[in-house]
Copies of this chain bind each other. A is one copy, B any other.
């Protein structure tokens, strides 16, 4: 089962790409922050100012950012600017499913449906680095069978597809 992530398109905000579809980005950011706050309150997690700001940055940018790019933005907003500041916030956020690490890019993206438990799959454009998140369950299929046969216990899976996003396909064709 896979669920392609796509929110309501909106003509009044050209915005940054979510998945590869346009959408009401301002609402998308504030909604996601609210969801995160609610879940932290529920579960006794501490969404401190730095952590909240990092999540906000990633939601706002809506693409994969390296830790040092995040760090630059944190500095601009008056937060600490040494690497551990960013890495610690990112650790918290990814441990709790608010952001995902993109191994292929050594970078991070905000999760676009942080409320559900999920094992994400990503589509990464090799030209513009845009990242779209999809849902998948690789451990249930062929890989799961191989692991079972081998006696390997899967705890987590990384699925990342690299290729061309719709916009870059068009550009390449022209």
Residues of A near any B CB (own CB < 8 A): 1-4, 6, 19-20, 103-104, 121, 123, 125-126, 132, 134, 136-139, 141-143, 145-147, 149-166, 169
Contacts and interface: CB of A to CB of B under 8 A. Distances in A.
Contact of A150 (B132, B149, B159): B132
Given A126-B155, A134-B143, A136-B143, A150 B162 contact: no
A169 to B, nearest CB: 6
Give the oligomeric copy count: 2
A20 to B, nearest CB: 6
Contacts of A136: 142-143, 146
A148 to B, nearest CB: 10
Minimum-distance CB pairs A-B, first 10: A151-B166, A2-B142, A103-B103, A134-B146, A155-B163, A154-B163, A158-B160, A153-B164, A153-B163, A154-B161
Given A123-B147, A147-B163, A157-B160, 14 more contacts: A2-B145, A123-B146, A134-B146, A134-B147, A143-B159, A143-B161, A151-B165, A152-B163, A153-B163, A155-B163, A156-B162, A157-B159, A157-B162, A159-B159
